[in-house]
A and B are shown apart, each in its own frame.
Chain A
């Protein structure tokens, strides 16, 4: 039977450093992400959310255990393309304007410049940012910069959209807008969405909540207490 999971973690652990100074950021976590999933990974700072997200994105490799992407392919095929990551903090390339930033993943994929620009304009338009195409990142507000990051992430139309603390430095109202935007664009492009956040109001916009504490992935989550949400973390 074919495994339809976009990403699957099996007993993955991540330790930084070695010897007495070693820090275990993630303890033997197992989970899977299916197409259409809307998942919030919540937990306090330092609980291992980002680490898990980076492992799922293929940006990092586990110390033990395995991460696979059955429905996508090998690690080399993840980025740019099927998997996109909205990084924590300012992540736009400072010397590129907004349009060039959004077109960059497409160019990295090998898309021709004209087509990349067309698709980047469309992605910006989707987030109501079309008029900012010529602006440089340093000229944007925090909310605008984060929305551009989202536009950049969706421009290659990924199948798995990951966002690491996308609202970490934003006010409450802007954070809510960002969360709504993420869900909406994921719906539009048909991508699974996983958001690591410590903001429960962001988690409220998603269907599932994975809870993390001290590097351990626990389930079900107690966050929010919303009955509509489904906890899912197959061990």
Chain B
């Protein structure tokens, strides 16, 4: 009952403070619930997207001497759809068109049942002719110069060639997985899809290859393509475990009669990596916000601590035991925590409904409920931590007499005397150094193993920096107010006038309070700044990734081996095209390693494309390309090649490149001049960049390979359409807008936009609350001081001298310190989370607009808090004195 009486009095007399503390709890609860539900929804989306991107879930390869019908039965019992596919190797294809004969090297011929395209939509994309019958891939058609209606011959080892008539030209978007080596050992190099592919109807395939199967069974085999039930768990890791387990179960049940090419499992494995990155991002970006909200709540609760201590001292003089006082605090914490939890969850639901169109952020009802319940628990925990714990400590340590003291007995906090902030910063640096060394991987997912791990240790770097820098800001403010009183007096003279010395004295004696407020503002600004900086850098790099992937605003890629490319002049004449940059593309052997080689015009390539300095090592983009231009036989290679082949600048490098004739390789001498880490249209870590003219001259091969078209970033889709009409089906045309969408929605790109949308909104709320609420409540706690000054005759301007000086100190100091901490944090986050950036950024991108919004909001909050304080003190000092 005494607790109820205490509570009733608390709510009646201190209602505003209870609500303010509950609001702090609510922010933490809302942020936790929002981010948690968003994370659950993101994981479910990743699983869904992974599943949608796979058309053939399993490619079950029937082993020699195994019974295909038995394997098929085993697969059917686990799948929703199946198809038996014949796979045969051909010695080569040949066609005679236009008076000349074209022949290719070895290839693959698939035998597909008639219902295959309907059962597995998306595997085959028709480009010309009919969608069924005898089909050849685009590259094969280009190599053979055939169109629908032309006959081709299929070479069979040791048997006469078979002749079929082409009925259509198709593209196989998932060729990489379709032609995978089933049962390849984990970690083995992926196998490139064959250059020449023919698709035959199953009966025709059997007619052609059954004789070969009898003669050379090693060249002919059967695969069963399967689609699995899609009722998978929402979490990619759980979905992967289920699919992977099912594949192993199948292999075991057929006693080694089949090997499973688990396409769905491989895609889910990538998705679980992304999910872990998302989880890490949640921790990196979300936890500081929640911690900040907790600190804010603690600050709000602490701003009434002196009053609470005096009240407790009074109660103790009337005989209350420490246990009873703690019970009072517990009751208060339950009220504050409960109210905060309800408000916070309400806010989270509102954020979800307004920002994501679903109160549960798109997560399942169960997942959202779990996160919301966890958030409510966190809220109650924060309330207990900021109300009950200090009360308990006070009840054990504080005497009644000591409770009256506010300023006189103040000493620097123990952490400050012990240099905790400096120790934390040193520890942050050490952890950062350890975790950002070469070879460090934040998310480790060894191929072929179900286990996946995250180096959560890396979290410690930014966390320690955040804490250490916040405390350092506290220390500097504390020290500055005490030791720099003369300086403060001079600085605030424009605001405080003749009272500047007195105001500086009040600030010095309240340095603990002011330093705390400044540190909180700094941390909140740092949170907003680091999140926004990281987000902006991520977005910038996503754009760079799109540019890197596509090469130009519009890119024309010729089929390999094509020597009759489009005319540069005609491409340049297309409306909307500003410039056309030919980019020679070849394959080259570095030893036994096949790599992409790009031949560039060094005089134009830098300006024609979006080359970034980060693409190169040991110099800027321009300096390395210039170096390449000065040495005609120079070549830029990847860092991996430098390491693998122990290259030093100037070392000769003999590459084997395709010559003018089909199948011929020419050895060309180069000299290693520098390292390229990325290059437009190039695969990562396995390419070479050389002078185009040198490559053409030494190989006698004038083929280009790709054309990068600059449209000035405008009308890329329209220009791409016009270019497609010009080049026809012989070349692939891609545009930046489409690539941007692909890159932005690919599984390897963690969807950061939703996370940061939540975070950036809350960051402003936290910054405003930290600045306005904490300063305002601190000032409100000293209403009596200002009222007494007013009663002594202080004019509003003179009262303003006290209030605005404090507000200015907290605002300017907090924003300045927060800016520095935010920059350092963002830089560290970008470094630690390098895995989410592809390519890594040159430098941080600064979101000036958002930062200006934060600064304006914080300034407005401080101004409102200060103006209200001055107005109340000046207008009704007696009311204040009577009420207090």
- Asked if residues A138 and B407 are in contact (CB atoms below 8 Å), the reply is yes
- Asked if residues A85 and B791 are in contact (CB atoms below 8 Å), the reply is yes
A198 CA to B103 CA, complexed, in Å? 120
Contact of B407 among A54, A94, A100, A108 (CB under 8 A): A94
In A90-145, the 8 Å CB interface with B consists of: 91-97, 100, 103-105, 107-110, 112-113, 136, 138-139
Q: Which residues of B contact A100 (CB under 8 A)?
A: 502, 505
The reply to whether the CB of B204 lies closer than 8 angstroms to some CB of chain A is: no
Contacts A113-B501, A138-B404; A95 near B792 (Cβ below 8 A): no
A108 CA to B407 CA, complexed, in Å? 23
The reply to whether the CB of A188 lies closer than 8 angstroms to some CB of chain B is: no
Contact of B793 among A79, A87, A103, A112 (CB under 8 A): A79
Quick one: closest A residue to B513, CB to CB? A95
Contacts A59-B877, A93-B785, A94-B406; A108 near B499 (Cβ below 8 A): yes
A148 CA to B506 CA, complexed, in Å? 18
- Asked if residues B406 and A138 are in contact (CB atoms below 8 Å), the reply is yes
- Asked if residues B792 and A107 are in contact (CB atoms below 8 Å), the reply is no
- Asked if residues B499 and A96 are in contact (CB atoms below 8 Å), the reply is no
Q: Which residues of B contact A107 (CB under 8 A)?
A: 498-499, 502
The reply to whether the CB of B509 lies closer than 8 angstroms to some CB of chain A is: yes
Contacts A95-B506, A96-B505; A136 near B408 (Cβ below 8 A): yes
Give min CB distance, A172 to chain B, whole Å: 22
Contacts A100-B502, A107-B498, A110-B498; A95 near B407 (Cβ below 8 A): yes
The reply to whether the CB of B9 lies closer than 8 angstroms to some CB of chain A is: no
- Asked if residues A54 and B793 are in contact (CB atoms below 8 Å), the reply is no
What's the tally of chain B residues with a CB closer than 8 Å to chain A? 26
Q: Which residues of A contact B816 (CB under 8 A)?
A: none
Contact of A95 among B499, B509, B878 (CB under 8 A): B509
Quick one: closest A residue to B799, CB to CB? A108
Contact residues of B: prevailing secondary structure: helix
Q: Which residues of A contact B877 (CB under 8 A)?
A: 59
In A42-61, the 8 Å CB interface with B consists of: 54, 59-60
Give min CB distance, A45 to chain B, whole Å: 14
- Asked if residues B878 and A112 are in contact (CB atoms below 8 Å), the reply is no
Quick one: closest A residue to B884, CB to CB? A89
A33 CA to B878 CA, complexed, in Å? 22
Contact of A108 among B782, B793, B878 (CB under 8 A): B793
Quick one: closest B residue to A112, CB to CB? B498
The reply to whether the CB of B691 lies closer than 8 angstroms to some CB of chain A is: no
Q: Which residues of A contact B789 (CB under 8 A)?
A: 93, 104, 108
Contact of A94 among B499, B501, B785, B798 (CB under 8 A): B785
The reply to whether the CB of B314 lies closer than 8 angstroms to some CB of chain A is: no
The reply to whether the CB of A78 lies closer than 8 angstroms to some CB of chain B is: yes
Q: Which residues of A contact B788 (CB under 8 A)?
A: 87, 91-93
Q: Which residues of A contact B407 (CB under 8 A)?
A: 94-95, 136, 138
- Asked if residues B502 and A87 are in contact (CB atoms below 8 Å), the reply is no
Contacts A60-B878, A113-B498; A108 near B798 (Cβ below 8 A): yes
The reply to whether the CB of B881 lies closer than 8 angstroms to some CB of chain A is: yes
Give min CB distance, A169 to chain B, whole Å: 14
- Asked if residues A95 and B785 are in contact (CB atoms below 8 Å), the reply is yes
Q: Which residues of A contact B502 (CB under 8 A)?
A: 96, 100, 103-104, 107
The reply to whether the CB of A215 lies closer than 8 angstroms to some CB of chain B is: no
Contacts A104-B502, A138-B405; A80 near B881 (Cβ below 8 A): no
Give min CB distance, A216 to chain B, whole Å: 21
Give min CB distance, B790 to chain A, whole Å: 9
Give min CB distance, B34 to chain A, whole Å: 40
In B487-519, the 8 Å CB interface with A consists of: 498-499, 501-502, 505-506, 509-510
A138 CA to B792 CA, complexed, in Å? 19
Give min CB distance, B385 to chain A, whole Å: 28
Q: Which residues of B contact A54 (CB under 8 A)?
A: 878
The reply to whether the CB of A81 lies closer than 8 angstroms to some CB of chain B is: yes
The reply to whether the CB of B443 lies closer than 8 angstroms to some CB of chain A is: no
- Asked if residues B792 and A104 are in contact (CB atoms below 8 Å), the reply is yes
- Asked if residues B499 and A59 are in contact (CB atoms below 8 Å), the reply is no
- Asked if residues A80 and B792 are in contact (CB atoms below 8 Å), the reply is yes
Quick one: closest A residue to B489, CB to CB? A113
A138 CA to B502 CA, complexed, in Å? 18
The reply to whether the CB of B794 lies closer than 8 angstroms to some CB of chain A is: yes
- Asked if residues A105 and B501 are in contact (CB atoms below 8 Å), the reply is no
Q: Which residues of B contact A95 (CB under 8 A)?
A: 407, 505-506, 509-510, 785
Q: Which residues of A contact B510 (CB under 8 A)?
A: 95
A-facing mask of B748-779, CB < 8 A → 1, else 0?
Answer: 00000000000000000000000000000000
A91 CA to B501 CA, complexed, in Å? 20
- Asked if residues B793 and A81 are in contact (CB atoms below 8 Å), the reply is yes
Q: Which residues of B contact A112 (CB under 8 A)?
A: 498
In A138-162, the 8 Å CB interface with B consists of: 138-139, 152
In A155-187, the 8 Å CB interface with B consists of: none
Quick one: closest B residue to A89, CB to CB? B881
A92 CA to B784 CA, complexed, in Å? 10
A81, A85, A94, A105: most-surrounded residue (chain B CB, <10 A):
A94
A-facing mask of B847-884, CB < 8 A → 1, else 0?
Answer: 00000000000000000000000000000011001000
A104 CA to B786 CA, complexed, in Å? 12
Q: Which residues of A contact B782 (CB under 8 A)?
A: 94
- Asked if residues A139 and B408 are in contact (CB atoms below 8 Å), the reply is yes
A-facing mask of B393-432, CB < 8 A → 1, else 0?
Answer: 0000000000011111000000000000000000000000
A-facing mask of B788-819, CB < 8 A → 1, else 0?
Answer: 11011111001000000000000000000000
A91 CA to B878 CA, complexed, in Å? 12
Q: Which residues of A contact B505 (CB under 8 A)?
A: 95-97, 100
Q: Which residues of B contact A96 (CB under 8 A)?
A: 502, 505-506, 509
Contacts A96-B506, A100-B505; A108 near B792 (Cβ below 8 A): yes
A87 CA to B785 CA, complexed, in Å? 13
A60 CA to B791 CA, complexed, in Å? 10
Quick one: closest A residue to B507, CB to CB? A95
Q: Which residues of A contact B499 (CB under 8 A)?
A: 107-108
Quick one: closest A residue to B404, CB to CB? A138
Q: Which residues of B contact A139 (CB under 8 A)?
A: 408
Q: Which residues of A contact B405 (CB under 8 A)?
A: 138
In A66-92, the 8 Å CB interface with B consists of: 78-81, 85, 87, 91-92
Give min CB distance, A144 to chain B, whole Å: 14
Quick one: closest A residue to B510, CB to CB? A95
A100 CA to B500 CA, complexed, in Å? 12
A40 CA to B619 CA, complexed, in Å? 89
Contact of B408 among A81, A85, A110, A138 (CB under 8 A): A138
A81 CA to B793 CA, complexed, in Å? 8
A110 CA to B125 CA, complexed, in Å? 88
Q: Which residues of A contact B793 (CB under 8 A)?
A: 78-81, 105, 108-109
Contact of B791 among A59, A81, A110 (CB under 8 A): A59
Q: Which residues of A contact B501 (CB under 8 A)?
A: 113
Q: Which residues of A contact B406 (CB under 8 A)?
A: 94, 138
A107 CA to B801 CA, complexed, in Å? 12
Q: Which residues of B contact A94 (CB under 8 A)?
A: 406-407, 782, 785
A59 CA to B795 CA, complexed, in Å? 12
A-facing mask of B459-501, CB < 8 A → 1, else 0?
Answer: 0000000000000000000000000000000000000001101
Taking Cβ atoms with an 8 Å cutoff, the residues of A that contact B are 54, 59-60, 78-81, 85, 87, 91-97, 100, 103-105, 107-110, 112-113, 136, 138-139, 152
Shortest beta-carbon contacts, A-B, top 3: A79-B793, A80-B793, A95-B506
Could you list 26 examples of A-B contacts with CB < 8 Å?
A54-B878, A59-B878, A79-B792, A85-B791, A85-B792, A87-B881, A93-B785, A94-B782, A95-B407, A95-B510, A95-B785, A104-B502, A104-B792, A105-B792, A105-B793, A107-B498, A108-B499, A108-B789, A108-B794, A108-B798, A110-B498, A136-B407, A136-B509, A138-B404, A138-B406, A139-B408
Extra contacts, 16 of them, besides A78-B793, A93-B506, A95-B510 (Cβ < 8 A), are: A60-B878, A80-B793, A81-B793, A87-B788, A87-B791, A93-B789, A94-B406, A94-B407, A96-B506, A100-B502, A104-B789, A107-B498, A107-B499, A136-B408, A138-B405, A138-B407
